[in-house]
Amino acid sequence: MTLRQHLGAMALLAAATLTACGTVLAQATIKIGAPLPMTGALSPEGQRLKQGHDLWAEAVNKAGGIQAGSTRYKVELVYADYQSNTPRAVQLADKLITQDKVDYIFAPFGSGATKAVSAVTEKNEVPNIAATASSVEVFNQGHKYIFGLFTPNDSLTEPLADLAKARLPAGARVAVLARNDLFPSALAAELEKSAKKRGFEIVYSGKYAIGALDHSGALVQVKAARPDWLFVSGYTNDMILVRKQMQDAGLAAGMLTMVIGPSYREFTESIGPLAENVSSAVWWHPVANYSGQDVFGSTEKYVAAFRQKYGSDPDYANAVGSLAGVVLQAAIEKAASTDRKAVREQLARMDLKTFFGPVAFDRHGMVNSYVPPVFQIQSGRSVVVYPASIATGSLK
């Protein structure tokens, strides 16, 4: 063999080796699609989920990836901005699966968009980890590939109503104002059920349009109803607007509950003293103290990792974004395979301790294994008032 032939053979061998390595690298990556509202009205929520997803992926890849059988897989997150528009979320979920070839899906924000996207993931038999859907309407469709990380809405309204009963007069008057969207409306309906069970009187029940900027008409009616307890459901920007416009309308109530805006620091930062004594309920709080069989190990360590990366405490949306990854990782590792059906079977059987709390699903794919906390803004801080095991204060 001449020198030129020898060099040519070496070049072919090197090219073949690189091609083989490239194939191995491609096979050793798990792609997870995440359609999120990165812009538009729900962008605060979308950005928080992304932070949580990113923190988990970074921690897993740093630890060597996801172990499935004899292979370790690197995590790759593929984001798509649906601009807070549900039909676009459906289109992008389909694109992520059929064109971008993702292996699994992290659901969009909220019950409405998650329900819409679940039809796409079910058709394609793609496990769909629904981080922020708590309405039973998402899970009673008979779908097998969706798994939700939030307990049902009544797990928020029942303890809220118990606390209200202990503080308000018998037969207290309750006003309910809800965003005309799946989760806020479903939550409001559960609140009315919880209130009536305790002998309260519903004196106002209304809805406001998605994107509404003027709530004055509804608030005038609420004021005329003279409620002892005002319950408002919606998202962060909604809650900020309603609370400011309550002040303009001279509307006050003995107890003011807003879900879910007060969970975010922007709520308190935006309205200052108007946030004082606003109560709320949420699925997770950083004062929780769980030990976990996951890459974070405990609530305390998760909070520390989040602070180190982002410079602030995590809220429930950050944490459940990370939990989505923890749960999917556990199912893949238990299945010892990336096969979607095998992973789906392990999700259905899951009984896992995590930094967020214990995770197990009912037959519909809805988590039913932990108790969400109730909190109140006091002196500008989020104070947990229920359950007693993690309470840092009492309801004012």
Beta strand segments in the chain, E: 29-36, 66-68, 71-81, 104-106, 128-130, 146-148, 173-179, 201-208, 229-233, 255-259, 279-281, 351-354, 357-360, 374-378, 381-386
CA 236 to CA 261: how far, in whole Å? 4
Judged against a pLDDT cut of 50, whether residue 272 lies above it is answered with: yes
**What is the reported pTM?**
0.86
CA 245 to CA 81: how far, in whole Å? 31
**Bridge partners of residue 263, in order along the sequence:** none
Q: Once rounded to an integer, what is the mean pLDDT over residues 302-309?
A: 98
Q: What is the pLDDT of residues 18-73, one digit of tens each?
A: 444 443 344 499 999 999 999 999 999 999 999 999 999 999 999 999 999 999 99
Q: Report residue 204 as tokens.
A: 């106002």
Query: What pLDDT shows up at residue 102?
Result: 98
Q: What is the pLDDT of residues 76-94, one digit of tens each?
A: 999 999 999 999 999 999 9
Q: Once rounded to an integer, what is the mean pLDDT over residues 310-339?
A: 97
Q: What percent of the chain clears pLDDT 90, i.e. is strictly above it?
A: 92
Judged against a pLDDT cut of 60, whether residue 2 lies above it is answered with: no
Query: What pLDDT shows up at residue 27?
Result: 43
**Backbone torsions φ then ψ of 159, nearest 5 degrees:** -65, -35
DSSP character for 274? G
Mean pLDDT of the chain: 93
CB 329 within 8 A of CB 359: no
Burial grade of 245 (CB within 10 A; 0-12, 13-18, 19 or more): middle
Q: How far is CA 375 from the centre of its chain?
A: 17
Query: What pLDDT shows up at residue 25?
Result: 42
